[in-house]
Amino acid sequence: MRSDAAGAPGRRASLQEDAEKGAPATEPLGKGEGLVWEEEEGRAALILTFTLRNARKAGLSKTAKVFETFEAGIHHLETRQAKKSKNTADDLEFFVKCEVHNSDVSILINSLKKVAEDVKTIREERVPWFPKKIRDLDKCHHLIAKYEPDLDHDHPGYTDPEYRKRRAFFTDLAFSYREGDPLPRVEYTVQETATWREVYRKLSSLYPTHACKQYLDAFQQLEKCCGYQEDNIPQLQDVSRFLKERTGFQLRPAAGLLSPRDFLASLAFRVFQSTQYIRHSSSPMHSPEPDCCHELLGHVPMLADKEFAQFSQAIGLASLGSSDVEIEKLATLYWFTIEFGLCKQNGALKAYGAGLLSSYGELVYALSNKPEHKPFDPELTAVHPYQDQTFQPVYFVAENFEDATAKLQKYALRIKKPFSLQYDPFTCSIEVLNTLQKVKNTLGQMKEELKNLCFALENIS
C-alpha cells in the first residue's frame, strides 16, 4: 500500500471523506485578492487566509499535515496576531499562497476548516493558464486540424500521398522545436520552389499599387537581406534574425493552424508562430490553411514595422488570461486587422493584412468598389461575423497604425480581468501585477525611463 505525503497510509482518503461531509461553501476574499490560476499539469495556485487558536500547540502541526497530505507547494506564508483573541500570544492569523492539484482545491479547503477558523478563499473564479515566460510557448502548440490534408477531404493535398508525407516531415520539425533551439533550415524541393515562384511573381506585381508603404519598405529590405526572390524560399532563421533587429519580433516553427488562444499568446512575447510547409502545387493561388507563402509574404514584412509590431503585441497581451468569449472577440479583431486590414494612405486605400497580401484575388477585390468599407472600431469589429471560405463582404479601414493601436489598447482595458499584466522585454517574461510591491517596481522602472527621455530632450534643446 502506498503511503501518502503525511506518512500515514490512507490519511488522504480519510481527509477527503471528512471534508466531503457537507462542509459549508468557502467565503470569498476581497476583489482581486483571491484567484485560482490554472496551471499546467493540472495544478492551480491558491490564496488562503485562516485563524489558528493555540497555534503554538497542536493547531499548527495539524494544519501543516493538511498541506502536506495534499502535496501543496507553499510559495508564501505570513502570520500575525489574531485581531479577536483571548490569548494573543497563541492565536494567529495566516495568509498562505500555495499550489495544489486542481481536483484537491475544495477538499483541502474543507480539511482546513476542521482544524482552523475563518477559512477564506475565492469563489470559483478561474484564470485560464497562459505563458509567463518565453519558454512556456513550447506548450502553445494546439492545432485546429479541420483544414489539414489528412482530415479535410476538400484539401488540395488530400489525395496526394507524397504531399501528405512531406507535411508530416514539417509537423515533426515544429513539434520537436524547443525555445532556444536554432530554427530548422529546410531544403525545399524543386516543385515547392516552383509553387513559391508562381505565387511570388504574381503577388509582387500587385504590391506597388495595392500594399501600404510600410509593407513596401520592408519588402525591399527583405529582398536585399533575406533572400526574398522568385527562385528561393527564405529560411525562418534568416527572416527571424532580420525581424529581431528591427522590431524585436522573432519566429518559431508551427505545425499548422494554431488555436486562437495559443497563437495570440505568442504575440504577447513578440513571437510569431510560422509554418514552413508550402501549399499544394495544384492550387498555388489559394490555400485553406496558413503556409510559408502566407507567413513570409503576408505577415513578415508588416512585422518589420515598429508601430505594427506594437499593435500585434497589444492583441497578444490582451489575450493572456482572458475568457473564451473574449478570446473569440480578440481573434475576430485579429482577423479583420492583421489578416484582412486596410488603411488610408495619401487619400487611397492600401492593404496591410496578411490574408490580403498573400492572396492575389482577394487583394484585388478588397481594394475595389465591390465590398463594403467601414472605419475600424474595435467594439464593432470584435463581434462582426467573418468568412473563412470566401472573400470578405466587409473590410475595416484604419486611419493609421498609431490610431489603431490606441483604440485597441482602450478596448483591451475594458476586458474584465481581476489582474493586470506587464511585459518585461529584458527577461521576455510576463509579470502579473498582483501586489503593491510589483506595481511599485514597475513604476520605478518607468520613472527611470522617463528620466532618460527628459535628459535626451535637454540635450536636444
162 is catalytic: no
CB 206 within 8 A of CB 212: no
Instruction: Give the angle 236-242-244 at the CA atoms, nearest 5°.
Output: 95
Active-site residue 289, yes or no?
A: no
Question: 111, 192, 294, 362: which is the annotated catalytic residue?
Answer: 294
Q: How far is CA 237 from CA 145, 226, 240, 296, in A?
A: 26, 9, 5, 12
Q: Is 33 in the active site?
A: no
Could you tell me how far CA 194 lies from the centroid of its own chain? 34
Grid coordinates in use for 448? 527611470
- The type of residue at 111 is S
3-state SS assignment for residue 420: coil
CB 66 within 8 A of CB 111: yes
Helix, strand, coil percentages (3-state) for the chain, rounded to 5, are 45, 15, 35
Q: Are 77 and 94 in contact (CB under 8 A)?
A: yes
What CA–CA distance (Å, rounded) separates 192 from 292?
11
Active site residue 299: yes
Q: How far apart are CA 306 and CA 304, in angstroms?
A: 6
Question: What is the Cα–Cα distance from 284 to 11, expressed in whole angstroms?
Answer: 64
CA-atom Rg of the chain in angstroms: 27
Element (H, E) at 37: strand 36-38
What value, to the nearest 5°, has the Cα angle with vertex 57 and ends 54 and 59? 65
Residue 43 CA, chain-centre distance (Å), reads: 20
User: Phi/psi class of residue 446: alpha, beta or left (left: φ > 0; alpha: ψ in -120 to 50)?
Assistant: alpha
Total Cβ atoms within 10 A of residue 354 = 24
Report d(CA 24, CA 105) in Å as an integer.
14
User: SS3 for 47?
Assistant: strand
Helices of type H across 367-435: 378-381, 401-413
Q: Which of 148, 326, 339, 362 is catalytic?
A: 339
Catalytic residue among 141, 155, 280, 299: 299
Cα–Cα distances in Å, from 207 out to 49, 202, 227, 232? Answer: 61, 9, 18, 19
Q: Which residues are catalytic?
A: 294, 299, 339, 358
